[in-house]
Structure 1
Amino acid sequence: MPRFVLMRLLQMIPVMLGVSFVVFISVYLVPGDVARTVLGQQASDTAVQALREELGLNRPLLVQYGIWLWDLLHFDLGFSISQRVSVSTLLGEKILNSLILMGFSLFLVITLSFTLSVYSATHFRKIGDRLAIFGTLVMASAPTFWLGILLLYVFSIKFPFFPTSGMHNFYNPGGFWEVVHHATLPAIATAASSIAIVTRVTRSAMIDVITKTYMTALRSRGIRRRRLNYVHMVRNALPSFVNISGLQVGYLFGSAIFSEIIFNWPGIGLQLYDAILQRDVPMIQGCSLVIALMFVISNFLSDYIVRSLDAIKR
């Protein structure tokens, strides 16, 4: 196991280097002048050129990338052009807020998809199974931004059960349950597609387990159906469930961008959206890098958990 962890950590290095290069280059491929955007279209050419020199935008692109990568290795993401504060300092609180939303969304994914997949597999080709498959098809086809707007209209405006925006009550900030109350709708919008994916994959894995020869042998020995379903079937399909659920962590962190914008949740997604509108290059790079890092870390954790489950089974 230590050798596996070491190899996976070493493999993450070239992946993150490639991601950092793509993140850095892609921002500069977008048409427009960052300095001109910051100063406004009425600014003089002299002022624009001075700002370009101050930001180092007049240097060759590879030189800029080398300087940025060196600063990144020292945990320095630069300064926000629009807000004039350290990107690392500003992203610290935003990352925590996004992790709260992602954690709530992941909780919904794990609980609902596991319950639906077990129910669907144990009622294979019955009316309950067909309804579950139809429901997951609808959830998988619903874009996050569309579902978020629909939930906002129905449950915040038409029937005001949940707040329309934010993370706390602005005038009277509360505790944990207030955060849960505010996070419910954005978490549902974020998790819907992942619930559908995890349910369908896990259901297929469980049905495949049911048809195995050893399950037939266990059934012939008189083992009760409940024990077959909830012990043997679930246990052997668990690695598939963990693997696909782990892969959804990075996706949830990324798709939460739309939910954060719609529900004005103060996280990485909303910060990235504002940075794009303001052409704040260091902030865009910092947010994109954090999202990519979450994908890499979630893949590593899912692989590690699956490897641990395999070791336990042996």
Structure 2
Amino acid sequence: MLSFLIMNMAPGNPVDMFINPNVPPEMRELRKELLGLNDPVYVQYFKWLAGVLRGELGYSFSSYAPVTELIGARIGPTLLLASSSLAVGLIIAIPIGILSAVKHNTRLDYLMTGLSFLGTSIPPFFLGLGLIYILGVELKWLPTGGMKTLGGDGGFADIAIHLIMPVLVLGMTIAGKKVRYVRASMLDVLGQDYLRTARSKGLSEWAVTNRHALRNALIPIIAVIGAEIPLLLGGSIIIEQVFQWPGIGQLTMEAILSRDYPTLMGLNLVAASVVLLTNLLIDILYAAVDPRIEFN
């Protein structure tokens, strides 16, 4: 409801954004009437809500295509980008965080922590533009944008090479934030009495760290990772614009600029669903990681 109200409070409307300024005012009013924009805001909202309850998200004001089709066509590329970036970020963050915790208060720890701050502080759009200039324009190693080569086959290799730079940008951002969480969680666990007991029984440091400490340290890490997923989908808006990736982020920007209310509301509904499903998944993973937690 708040999203719908805020969108309708924004200046401009879909008719003003797309119709030629020379069109007579009566034609504009007719167009608004056909789109239902002359109805009170609460009437527009309940019409949209009634459609949702019927499984319909309405039609785009700009392309007149069903919103479900627009989102369905874009959600695949966004999920591919987000999941690949999250995997790369965790592959970088977890080993570095563990190493930083094991070697805490050493030069290696300070170096790892400093690099994590660097990864967090560099704006993703700036890093993306830098990679485009260096790897795409100067060295010509990678394509500068898009999801596939124009006129190409659009196969796995073609998509993978286009995926490298946006995944590097998002993955480095995720890793920069998660290294400190992994380090802090591991440090908290490494000081526990049961680990000192495990060492006194002759277990190797590798077994103590990776078989016993890591599993118990994963509980707070899972919570942080779960909170990252909705933020990752939102943060991909900028990256998709920079790299012209045809996903939900790019669709969101197009819908904002065109005041496409049905598409924006559909995207908000998807985002809210992702948050709810992510929280459910986190609860399930808690029980999978920690045997002390059981489903009631």
- The structure-2 alpha-carbon separation of the partners of 1:41 and 1:296, relative to structure 1 and needing over 3 Å to count, comes to farther
Task: Check if 1:39 corresponds to 2:19.
Answer: yes
Structure 1 segments, 4+ long, off by >6 Å, are none
Task: Check if 1:25 corresponds to 2:5.
Answer: yes
Task: Check if 1:288 corresponds to 2:268.
Answer: yes
**Residue 10 of structure 1 corresponds to which residue in structure 2?**
none
Preserved contact between residue 90 and residue 174 of structure 2 (Cα < 8 Å)? no
Give 1:312 deviation, angstroms. 6.0
**Residue 180 of structure 1 corresponds to which residue in structure 2?**
160
Task: Check if 1:245 corresponds to 2:225.
Answer: yes
- The structure-2 alpha-carbon separation of the partners of 1:22 and 1:144, relative to structure 1 and needing over 3 Å to count, comes to farther
Give 1:25 deviation, angstroms. 1.6
**Residue 266 of structure 1 corresponds to which residue in structure 2?**
246
**Residue 137 of structure 2 corresponds to which residue in structure 1?**
157
Give 1:296 deviation, angstroms. 2.6
**Residue 4 of structure 1 corresponds to which residue in structure 2?**
none
Task: Check if 1:215 corresponds to 2:195.
Answer: yes
Q: What value does the CA root-mean-square deviation take over the aligned residues? A: 1.7
CA distance in 2, matches of 1:110, 1:302: 16
Give 1:115 deviation, angstroms. 1.5
Preserved contact between residue 216 and residue 290 of structure 2 (Cα < 8 Å)? no
**Residue 108 of structure 2 corresponds to which residue in structure 1?**
128
Overall identity of the aligned pairs, in %:
29
Task: Check if 1:141 corresponds to 2:121.
Answer: yes
Gaps of 5+ in 1: 1-20
CA distance in 1, matches of 2:10, 2:19: 18
Residue identity matched to 1:109: G
**Residue 34 of structure 2 corresponds to which residue in structure 1?**
54
CA distance in 2, matches of 1:45, 1:52: 11
Give 1:43 deviation, angstroms. 2.3
CA distance in 2, matches of 1:199, 1:217: 27
CA distance in 1, matches of 2:242, 2:21: 30
Residue identity matched to 2:206: R
The Cα offsets for residues 64-103 of structure 1, whole Å up to 9 and x where unpaired, read as 1111011112221111111121111111110111111111
Preserved contact between residue 247 and residue 302 of structure 1 (Cα < 8 Å)? no
Task: Check if 1:93 corresponds to 2:73.
Answer: yes
Task: Check if 1:297 corresponds to 2:255.
Answer: no
Give the alignment of 1:78-117 within 5 angstroms: 78-117=58-97
Residue identity matched to 2:256: I
Give 1:46 deviation, angstroms. 0.7
Task: Check if 1:311 corresponds to 2:284.
Answer: no
Question: What TM-score, normalized to structure 2?
Answer: 0.93
Question: What TM-score, normalized to structure 1?
Answer: 0.88
**Residue 196 of structure 1 corresponds to which residue in structure 2?**
176
- Report the secondary structure of 1:215's partner residue: helix
Moved more, 86-95 or 193-202: 193-202
**Residue 13 of structure 1 corresponds to which residue in structure 2?**
none
The Cα offsets for residues 235-260 of structure 1, whole Å up to 9 and x where unpaired, read as 11122222211221111111111111
Preserved contact between residue 58 and residue 262 of structure 2 (Cα < 8 Å)? yes
